[in-house]
Amino acid sequence: MDGITFDHVGIAVESLEKALAFYQGVLGLKLEETEVVAGQGVKVAKLHTGKTTIELLEPLGPDSPVAKFIEKRGEGIHHICFEVPDALAVVAKGKEKGFDPVSEGLKPGASGRQVAFLNPKSTFKVMIELSQGPADAGKKK
């Protein structure tokens, strides 16, 4: 598909503070920002790795989808994200071929972007985030 690029890996953690002690304190990755994304029930820490980004996701409460993920599967890789020009077009194409979205429509994601997720049950146990937005949103300067 034209214009698709790999954007980031999202990692579910119980505590940003503990995870940052490793990613920042040991690996030396640069913490770009932390942001509460209430709609997704998470606090996100974005770390730069040079060419791409790691997102650490700490649940805001027990009802957060990320809390449920950790409860079921433990901490670990939660999703991978591709930036696309038109996320809903990809979702529609996926549905046509039997790859289901987690929910309908776009949701507000981190950095003012609009996102959709594909259900990992249909996408080989890896949740896929599709992210679109203003060309400069969430971009490194």
Residue 66 within binding range of Co ion, rule CB under 5 A: no
Residue 10 within binding range of Co ion, rule CB under 5 A: yes
- Residue 73 parent element (H or E): helix 65-73
**Residues contacting 102, CB < 8 A, separation 6+:** 116, 117, 118, 119, 127
Residues paired with residue 131 on neighbouring β-strands, in sequence order = 83, 115
Minimum CB–partner distance for residue 82 and Co ion (Å): 10
Phi then psi dihedrals of residue 120, to 5 deg: -60, -20
Minimum CB–partner distance for residue 115 and Co ion (Å): 7
Minimum CB–partner distance for residue 85 and Co ion (Å): 17
The residue within the footprint of Co ion, chosen from 16, 20, 81, 90 (CB under 5 A), is 81
Residue 129 within binding range of Co ion, rule CB under 5 A: yes
Minimum CB–partner distance for residue 38 and Co ion (Å): 15
- Nearest-angstrom CA–CA distance, 42 and 127: 16
Interacting positions 14-53 with Co ion (CB under 5 A): none
Question: What number of chain residues touch Co ion (CB under 5 A)?
Answer: 4
Q: Which two tokens mark 110?
A: 């981190």
Residue ranges in contact with Co ion by CB under 5 A: 10, 55, 81, 129
